[in-house]
Amino acid sequence: MQSSTETWQRVFGAAVEHAYDSVLVTDSDFHIVYANPGFTQLTGYTPDEVMGRTPSFLQGPDTDPEVIARLHRTIDTGGVFEGSTVNYRKDGTPFPIGWTVAPVRDADGAVTHYVTIQREVPA
């Protein structure tokens, strides 16, 4: 019989894999360690193409630098970021996104990962 923890891990894993929204997980240095199918659908990049990269490669000329600065200020202080800007697909086309970046902490409170959820929003 599975433990409650194993059951929840299985359930949440399935939820993320089948989420319509893009879900990225980075390590504490912001290198991508997981990208769900929603990320591929949104951006055109496969998980293999983005592993080890930082999400900043999605930024371009229309990405608002003030929003990115606020993102860094928020996560540097341990907060949860919410914002919107413009990112770029693999084919170079821009798209407006709304996104959330939340820290994941270990038992001692140290940030080990970040979870980013993003979706295309009306311009």
- Assign 47 a pLDDT band (cuts: 50, 70, 90): very high
Smallest CA-to-CA distance from 118 within 12, 20, 13, 17 is with 20
- Give DSSP secondary structure letters for 31-79: -EEEE-HHHHHHHS--HHHHTTS-GGGG--TTS-HHHHHHHHHHHHTT-
In angstroms, the CA 13 to CA 6 distance is 10
Judge whether 85 lies within some domain. yes
Beta bridge partners of 22: 118
CATH code of residue 50: 3.30.450.20
Judge whether 9 lies within some domain. no
Q: The domain containing residue 40 runs over which residues? A: 21-120
**Overall pTM surpassing 0.85 (yes/no):** yes
What's residue 1's pLDDT?
Answer: 63
Judge whether 1 lies within some domain. no
